[in-house]
């Protein structure tokens, strides 16, 4: 047990330094167990470039039912949460709460997602005995309203009898859910510059049509550099074939801009 306590004190220091949580300077370990979100891959805790390059894709995600069968009415996206403090020998529930975002369409509980505070939801949010981190499931529901526009679900972990909040910058996460094409988090600034170019739904749909692949977050987040470059080359060829077959009417996106790949 002593070794586990030492390990978790060390983990607290690493997390706070890598998450740039200034407030952590005022939260020394004093037998107060805290909880906060962190990297999906625990190994990234030690990556010096996590904050700059990787954190955004762990913080905000987009999910669409668009490429799924019509019979699929429920799906799950995952985040990862970490405890700061002692590893306990008993299960500890933690509490999630939706936080409304201004000037967007906010997701409706038990319509667009399974409410965090209902009986089914509460069973999902428990750090098991002997554990210091876990995957956090967010259950999304396929409502007809998602076909017309996406909805935003932002939520945070709040204090309860087991945990106080961790660093403020790491207590929240966000999901954009829809039943239409959405830009995956993996289609970020880096991917835009080197692989796919500016995002548009028409381009996204073209990529799906010519490859037969989903091009969703799950797929794109697993692509290695060489794979992405290969796909980029093939997509350029397919686009050239399309444009040659439609002389004078090249492929344009919903904004009227010519579709190109870098």
pLDDT at 7: 41
**Residue ranges per structural domain of the chain:** 2-178, 189-245
Compute the chain's Rg from CA coordinates.
Answer: 21
Q: What is the pLDDT of residues 137-180, one digit of tens each?
A: 999 999 999 999 999 999 999 999 999 999 898 999 999 999 99
Place of tokens 């909880």: 35
* Beta pairing, strands 164-165 & 34-38: parallel
Q: How far apart are CA 97 and CA 156, in angstroms?
A: 6
C-alpha distances in angstroms, 50 versus 18, 42, 67, 191?
A: 7, 11, 30, 16
Fold of 2-178: Immunoglobulin-like (2.60.40)
Q: In this model, does residue 87 exceed pLDDT 90?
A: yes
pLDDT at 55: 66
For residue 46, name the pLDDT band (cuts at 50, 70, 90): low
pTM for this one?
Answer: 0.75
Cβ contact 46:13 at 8 Å: no
Q: In this model, does residue 14 exceed pLDDT 80?
A: no
C-alpha distances in angstroms, 107 versus 59, 84, 98, 138?
A: 17, 30, 9, 12
Q: How far apart are CA 153 and CA 176, in angstroms?
A: 6
């Amino acid at each position: 047990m002593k070794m586990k306590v030492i390990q978790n004190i060390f983990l607290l220091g690493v997390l706070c330094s890598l998450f740039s949580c200034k407030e952590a300077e005022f939260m020394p370990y004093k037998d107060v167990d805290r909880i906060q979100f962190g990297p999906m891959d625990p190994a990234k805790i030690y990556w010096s470039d996590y904050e700059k390059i990787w954190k955004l894709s762990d913080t905000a995600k987009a999910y669409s039912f668009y490429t799924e069968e019509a019979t699929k009415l429920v799906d799950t996206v995952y985040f990862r949460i970490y405890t700061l403090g002692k590893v306990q020998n008993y299960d500890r529930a933690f509490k999630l709460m939706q936080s409304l975002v201004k000037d967007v369409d906010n997701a409706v509980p038990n319509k667009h997602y399974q409410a965090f505070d209902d009986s089914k939801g509460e069973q999902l949010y428990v750090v098991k005995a002997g554990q210091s981190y876990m995957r956090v499931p967010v259950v999304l529901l396929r409502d007809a309203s998602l076909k017309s526009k996406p909805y935003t679900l932002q939520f945070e972990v709040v204090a309860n009898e087991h945990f106080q909040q961790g660093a403020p910058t790491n207590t929240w996460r966000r999901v954009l859910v829809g039943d239409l094409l959405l830009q995956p988090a993996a289609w970020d600034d880096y991917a835009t510059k080197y692989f796919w170019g500016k995002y548009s739904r028409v381009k996204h749909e073209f990529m799906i049509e010519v490859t037969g692949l989903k091009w969703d977050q799950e797929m794109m987040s697993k692509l290695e550099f060489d794979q992405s470059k290969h796909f980029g080359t093939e997509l350029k060829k397919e686009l050239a074939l399309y444009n040659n077959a439609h002389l004078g009417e090249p492929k344009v996106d919903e904004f009227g801009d010519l579709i190109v790949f870098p």
